[in-house]
Chain A
Amino acid sequence: MSKIRYERPVIKKLETGMPNKFGTRTEYAPMTHIDGVSVKSLIKEYGSPLFVISEKTVRSTIRKARKAFETRYPKVQFAWSYKTNYLNAICSIFHQEGSWAEVVSGFEYDKAISLGVDGKKIIFNGPEKSEEDLCKAIQNDSLIHIDHLDELYTISELADKSKSRPRVAIRVNMDTGVYPMWDRFGFNYENGQAWDAINKIMHSGRMELVGLHCHIGTFMLSPFAYGIAASKLAELALSVEQKFKHEIKYIDLGGGFASRNTLKGSYLPGSDTNPTFDDFAEAISSALLNSNFKQDNLPLLILETGRALIDEAGYLLGSVISNKRSSTGRRNTILDIGVNILFTSFWYDHKITPAQSFTQYSEDTCVYGPLCMNIDVIRESASLPLLNRGDQVVIQNVGAYNMTQWMQFISLRPHVVLIDMDEKPHVIRLRETLDNITGMEKVPEHLANFNK
């Protein structure tokens, strides 16, 4: 006789306010497969925890985004924001899909070059670019987005020395009605700093001002704010044209579109409420089309969308280490996934689904990671089915920032697997080994051999 699947016994008081099984039924519909590959087999093959990225979803998402913009505005270019996820395989998918590269450090710049990205298609952002970085970018004719006056002067000097004319843009910050206002990067629009920087560039004659850039914030929930940003940059571009008879080639609105995640503290799930690519595209393209650009001379629209393009494609698989009860009687579940690899659990209530089917019984559970740290909380409260030790879970929408901001802390970082278009898994980043970490260390002679 084959045995019945075990589930721990539970008893729950019927209270008002307690959603019954119909209320929560599909909240944790199990996710047994990702793109046709079973979660169980993935964990068996590659271990737990494990990052999995769906190539299908990456491609369908960027295509959806492009379509939303290209059907509304004639000239659109996406530039993949490296910091969101700079695994070579992932960057390569975006480059195959026609995206340029958007980088914010010498390291990211070198990564893009070594991947084979044409220097002319690299946008170099950020407040920290060394002279060496800038020389490289000038040589490769990359697009340098100037963050502050010191940088402006440095580029001007380098241009003079190298007898070249770097292509530059300035980063503009502005009030778009959203809070907090990101005014620490670039030059302010309202107080005239931006116009001042433009004048300095134009008068120096050493640089070619090709674009205007802004990045108004991240996880933005208001398409309207992008409309304002687009209008303000359009106005600046038109002023340049009027005063200097110089045409601004592109307007770069940065990244920041919200992904499908649910921010902590929101009542409704983000997948229901967050604006879609169409919403953002509508706001931006109307603002640009309604401004005073000549019909046949619209600037190129560049977008550096990060999280909204990759979050949905990323999954983090893990296993239950233990179930406990807290001193107050609350159910605690410990996973082998900690905040060191799921950084975004500080911002989001990530959706956690079991990887096997369950009965409708559930418990309100606090989900902890395995680190010996009080801050290691994945979800403060989630209604989860009765998971057993060793059961597997899938955490969804984790593709953005986790694989760049993760920390090697206490344990080693796991494999990252890409499931390709033919539903075949490939390791795209190996699990770390002890040697990887200690290999970079050096022990001074007098500290070696402490056993002697």
Chain B
Amino acid sequence: MKKRKLNIAVTGLNAIDSPGPGVSVIRALREASSFDVNITGLSYESLEPGIYMHDLVDRTYSIPYPAAGIDTLLARLEYIHEKEKLDVIIPNFDAELYPFIKLEPKLKAMGIHMFLPTLHQFEERHKVNLNDFGRKYNISVPKSKVIYDLNTVHSLPSEFSFPMIVKGKFYDASIAYSIEQVKSYFNKISAKWGLPIIIQEFIHGTEFNVTGLGDGKGNTIAAVPMRKQYITDKGKAWGGISISDEKMLDMTRKFLKNTKWRGGFELELMKNKDGELYLLEINPRLPAWIYLAVGVGQNIPEALVNLALGEKVTPFATYDVGKMFIRYAWDMIVDREEFEQISIYGEL
């Protein structure tokens, strides 16, 4: 039987040292057993490597930054849809999720499917709300406090012990060993990302990640835990290994069951020396290392596409433990004309 062919658009083609997941997602889709694909890349910048990987990406269109507004994005997607007749879009950046979630009904009406968390889920899992999130869903999270005012820093030692983590609203985190350091990070980070600043309990231990897929009804469709083996100076995994840890899988299933999470995700977990697990962060999209999940038997992007199309998907029951991924960089040779083509015309 001939497999059906789907037109799928994917963002996050920036397979650089702090990579977006797009290229890995596309590799997964190309290996799908339930469909064939025609891949449309969606890029923000002209040097995103995925644009030039012609064996993976059939055609790329540049799209406006989220800051340009939803209407601008919609107009561009309408244009692309007219040419490519898209069936599914898989957005892969945190910053673009908000506009895509807002556009979901409109895109659906155009015949384009997505499988994203709800706006409520998206907001609720935000770093700033982590404490409430943990309380509400009965999941252990490091104690944290949102502060707006440098003057409140002095009362922190009564609630937190040193070291403590000083985090920005969107990005940046530093470990502070004294009040002076807290103050200095407060100033530095708030100058860059604005207020509030989040103070978080520092948990000594080992970091783990789980990627997976929720069906939006509380069921776990996929879940693969991984331990980072090599971490770049940007904190990204350059190598990792699939592991079998019931506690982590339990926490993942609980997270999915209690929140009825819809879509792909990555959990950042910390295990302390007593073996207790803490949820540090929830990334509301697939991670860049998603191809490991495919390699161990759970093609999560494929399942996500089928869910987006409203099909029944059987949850994955197993995965191979002890398989590793090792990332490598690859220099492509590209003609200047291609770079100019995408830069000037926004299409390649």
Residues in A lying within 8 Å of B, measured CB to CB: 14, 16-27, 179-180, 265, 267-269, 271-273
Contact = CB atoms under 8 A, between A and B. Distances in A.
Given A26-B71, A27-B72, A272-B70, 9 more contacts: A18-B45, A19-B44, A22-B61, A22-B345, A23-B68, A24-B64, A25-B75, A271-B70, A272-B98
Given A23-B62, A26-B75, A18 B46 contact: yes
Contact of A265 (B72, B194, B339): B194
Pick the 5 closest A-B CB pairs, nearest first. A22-B346, A16-B47, A179-B148, A23-B64, A269-B69
Interface in B319-348: 339-340, 342-346
B70 to A, nearest CB: 5
21 contacts: A14-B339, A18-B45, A18-B46, A18-B343, A20-B344, A20-B345, A21-B344, A23-B63, A23-B65, A23-B68, A23-B346, A24-B68, A25-B76, A27-B69, A179-B195, A267-B67, A267-B170, A268-B66, A268-B69, A271-B69, A272-B102
A269 B72 CA distance: 11
Given A17-B45, A265-B194, A26 B346 contact: no
B297 interface: no
B72 A180 contact: no
Interface of B: 44-47, 61-72, 75-76, 95, 98-99, 102, 148, 170, 194-196, 339-340, 342-346
A19 B71 CA distance: 16
A22 B68 CA distance: 11
Contact of B343 (A14, A179, A271): A14
B194 A26 contact: no
A268 to B, nearest CB: 6
A269 B340 CA distance: 29
Contacts of A22: 61-64, 76, 345-346
B67 A20 contact: no
A407 B145 CA distance: 41
Nearest to B132: A177
A24 B69 CA distance: 10
Contacts of A273: 98
B76 A19 contact: no
Contacts of B98: 268, 272-273
A24 to B, nearest CB: 7
A276 to B, nearest CB: 11
Nearest to B71: A26
A369 B15 CA distance: 43
Given A19-B64, A23-B68, A272 B99 contact: yes
A23 B63 CA distance: 6
Contact of B95 (A25, A180, A265, A267): A267
Contacts, number: 80
A414 to B, nearest CB: 29
A414 B60 CA distance: 49
Given A16-B45, A26-B72, A179-B196, A268 B99 contact: yes
Nearest to B339: A14
B297 to A, nearest CB: 36
Nearest to A263: B194
Contacts of B69: 27, 268-269, 271-272
Contacts of B64: 19, 22-25, 27
B267 to A, nearest CB: 24
B46 A16 contact: yes
A265 B192 CA distance: 10
Contact of B346 (A20, A179, A265, A272): A20
Contacts of B47: 16
Given A179-B148, A265-B194, A14 B63 contact: no
Contacts of A27: 64, 68-69, 72
Contact of A20 (B62, B71, B196): B62
Nearest to B170: A267
Nearest to A27: B68
Given A16-B45, A25-B72, A269 B344 contact: no
Contacts of A272: 69-70, 98-99, 102
A362 to B, nearest CB: 12
Nearest to B45: A16
A95 to B, nearest CB: 34
Nearest to A15: B46
A20 B342 CA distance: 8
A272 B344 CA distance: 27
Contacts of B75: 25-26
A253 to B, nearest CB: 22
A200 B71 CA distance: 54
B251 to A, nearest CB: 27
A423 B339 CA distance: 49
A22 B341 CA distance: 12
Nearest to B68: A27
A19 B339 CA distance: 13
A265 B148 CA distance: 16
A203 to B, nearest CB: 38
Most interface-central of A18, A19, A24, A25 (chain B CB within 10 A):
A19
A21 B347 CA distance: 11
A112 to B, nearest CB: 36
A268 B99 CA distance: 9
Contacts of A179: 148, 195-196
A180 B148 contact: yes
A283 to B, nearest CB: 13
Contacts of B342: 20
A402 B308 CA distance: 47
Nearest to B195: A179
A269 B67 contact: yes
Contacts of A26: 68, 71-72, 75
Nearest to B72: A26
Nearest to B66: A268
A251 to B, nearest CB: 26
A337 to B, nearest CB: 23
Q: Name the residue among A16, A22, A24, A269 with the largest chain B CB count within 10 angstroms.
A: A22
Contacts of B339: 14
Given A14-B340, A267-B66, A20 B72 contact: no
A168 to B, nearest CB: 33
Nearest to B346: A22
Contacts of B76: 22, 25
A20 B194 contact: no
